[in-house]
Amino acid sequence: MRILACGDVVGRSGREAIEKYLPDLKSRLAIDFTLVNVDNAAGGFGITREIAHSFFSAGADILTGGNHVFDQNGAIAFLETDKRILRPHNVSAITPGRGVGEVVISSGKKIVVIHLMGQREMPVSANDPFEAMNLLLSKYKLRRTADAIIIDFHAELTSEKNALGSFLDGSVSVVVGTHTHIPTADERILEHGTAFQTDIGMCGDYDSVIGMKKELVVEKFLKKHVKTKLASASGEATFCGLLVDLEDNGLAKAIKFLKIGGKLLPSVM
């Protein structure tokens, strides 16, 4: 089974990269399941129903959010009704929506996606992701109740992401970090077979400050007394994503980080 996890989509340029590259990648690389993080898809802040549907049309199977997932008007309504769009699981139980998604793909295999948020240095409070996973792993087990388990961990600290990857090694198929929008060069298969990357970066314009217009962010740092409204950068985006091949036991056998288009040096296909 072949899995693709796409980095945080930022603004219109990020959306255009998904629409441009994802259909071809799915066809050419025979990808069975695609996960896309959409926390910044609508102008850098959240997701709308229309944008979500454009990602599904391009080939996404599950969308994950993060700390901005409810920023857009109307987001609560469609997150409540569409099981393919996830908010972080480890937030208050009364939060609308869901943090776990289950998909049965065309081969009949069941894929479980769990969306978590970090506790450290995040603008939105979250419960302990380690405790949350302990409870979930009593229900979801590779080779028994799921053919693949994928974790999107939306977190700031590299240490927290690495710790969760180590904690889950061998119990889940893939752990990818999102949120910082900067891809880390540490994609690897951990000791017990879990595919891991601290952060898979963004699908967005890298001639920016993490996807936002750089002049506005610089002004925000320089003129702290001025309230600066940020906007997403609009240049050509780089598509970033992690491609993982799984064994029949749900653990990883091969891994490759993809960079296509835009300002970053492309990966060798």
Residue 5, SS3 per DSSP = strand
Tens of pLDDT, residue by residue, the chain (269 residues)? 999 999 999 999 999 999 999 999 999 999 999 999 999 999 999 999 999 999 999 999 999 999 999 999 999 999 999 999 999 999 999 999 999 999 999 999 999 999 999 999 998 989 999 999 999 999 999 999 999 999 999 999 999 999 999 999 999 999 999 999 999 999 999 999 999 999 999 999 999 999 999 999 999 999 988 888 999 999 999 999 999 999 999 999 999 999 999 999 998 76
CB atoms within 10 A of CB 227: 7
Please compute Rg for the chain using Cα positions.
Answer: 17
Reported CATH class of domain 2-205+235-260: alpha beta
Active-site residues, by number, are 68
- Distance (Å, whole) CA 56 – CA 34: 10
Residue 87, H or E segment: none
- Distance (Å, whole) CA 258 – CA 269: 8
Question: Residue type for 152, please?
Answer: D
- Distance (Å, whole) CA 33 – CA 105: 7
pTM of the model: 0.97
**Helix, strand, coil share (%) of the chain residues, nearest 5:** 25, 30, 50
